[in-house]
């Protein structure tokens, strides 16, 4: 997969050199390039923003600068991602869909955002998705670009060593949060690991993990539980 990120703070994307995403890049599974938007400015001050039409606080990113950048970076069939607090929620389902793409371009806005004609213009020529991380306000799209690239990269074939670890985790197919996990020592600071996990009884362990996932989801994310297909719950689940 190819990913291009355009930002006025390219250094903000430095963590994408590290860890699993960094390894995916060196392994040739992910071709990631970060670009400085100011490369496409045409004045001595390398201006990327201007005051909003209609008045109001803050500055808006200029469509002409973004247009030159995106005309250079987009390829036919590329999917343009525009992080925005006004976007559609970014979820594991979104990450799964994006992981099937050949080319993603992430356009990181700052200030009050990018002139709305940019998304409109490219949506008429290809695919554009405005995505939000959640219901809070960040200073720009860079953190969202980090989140989207990491969430998508780990779904690419060969990136996560054991594909089994993608199956049971939170927000997986079961639609539940993940059960709690433990390792050695069996007792720490007076807290014992639940007995069932030391029992070696595989069926009981499975049942206990399912119950804990249900309990956690009910306590922390009742919205996820409400969205579950009732047919996906067994009789024991419904009793939990």
Both tokens of 192, joined, read 């014992």
105 touches 78 (CB < 8 A): yes
Q: In Å, how far are 38, 61, 167 from 43, measured between CA atoms?
A: 10, 15, 51
**Please, what is the minimum distance in Å from the beta carbon of residue 131 to ligand 6GU?**
6
150 touches 6 (CB < 8 A): no
132 lies in the binding site for ligand 6GU (CB under 6 A)? yes
**Please, what is the minimum distance in Å from the beta carbon of residue 145 to ligand 6GU?**
8
- Cis geometry, peptide bond prior to residue 204 (ω within 30 degrees of 0): no
**Please, what is the minimum distance in Å from the beta carbon of residue 141 to ligand 6GU?**
5
37/174 with CB nearer ligand 6GU: 37
Site for ligand 6GU in 62-91 (CB under 6 A): 83-85, 87
144 lies in the binding site for ligand 6GU (CB under 6 A)? yes
Q: Whole-angstrom Cα distance, residue 171 to residue 167?
A: 9
Binding residues for S-adenosyl-L-methionine: 109, 133-138
140 lies in the binding site for ligand 6GU (CB under 6 A)? yes
φ/ψ of residue 26, rounded to 5: -70, -30
Both tokens of 200, joined, read 């070696």
Q: Which range in 25-33, 41-49, 96-104, 129-137 contacts ligand 6GU by CB under 6 A?
A: 129-137
10/83 with CB nearer ligand 6GU: 83
Q: Return the residue nearest ligand 6GU (CB atom).
A: 83
82 touches 115 (CB < 8 A): no
Instruction: Indicate the Cα dihedral angle 28, 33, 34, 35, nearest 10°.
Output: 170
**Please, what is the minimum distance in Å from the beta carbon of residue 81 to ligand 6GU?**
9
Site for ligand 6GU in 28-57 (CB under 6 A): none
- By CB under 6 A, name the binding residues for ligand 6GU: 83-85, 87, 131-134, 136-138, 140-141, 144
């Amino acid at each position: 997969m190819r990913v291009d990120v355009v930002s006025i703070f390219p250094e903000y994307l430095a963590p994408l050199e590290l860890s699993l995403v960094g390894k995916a890049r060196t392994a040739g599974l992910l071709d990631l390039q970060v670009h400085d938007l100011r490369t496409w400015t045409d004045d001595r001050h390398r201006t990327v923003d201007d005051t909003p039409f209609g008045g109001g606080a803050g500055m808006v990113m200029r469509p002409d600068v973004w247009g030159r950048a995106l005309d250079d970076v987009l390829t036919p069939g590329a999917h343009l991602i525009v992080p925005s607090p006004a976007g559609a929620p970014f979820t594991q389902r979104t990450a799964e869909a994006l992981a099937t793409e050949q080319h993603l371009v992430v356009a990181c806005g700052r200030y009050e955002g990018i002139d709305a004609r940019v998304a409109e213009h490219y949506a008429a020529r290809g695919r554009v998705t405005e995505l939000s991380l959640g219901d809070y306000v960040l200073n720009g799209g860079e953190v969202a670009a980090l989140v989207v690239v990491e969430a998508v990269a780990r779904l690419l074939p060969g990136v996560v060593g054991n594909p089994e670890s993608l199956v049971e985790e939170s927000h997986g197919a079961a639609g539940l949060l993940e059960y709690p996990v433990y390792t050695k020592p069996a007792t720490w600071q007076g807290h014992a690991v639940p007995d069932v996990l030391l029992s070696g009884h595989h069926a009981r362990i499975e049942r206990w993990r399912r119950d804990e996932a249900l309990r956690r989801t009910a306590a922390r994310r009742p919205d996820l539980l409400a969205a579950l297909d009732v047919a996906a719950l067994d009789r024991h689940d419904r009793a939990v």
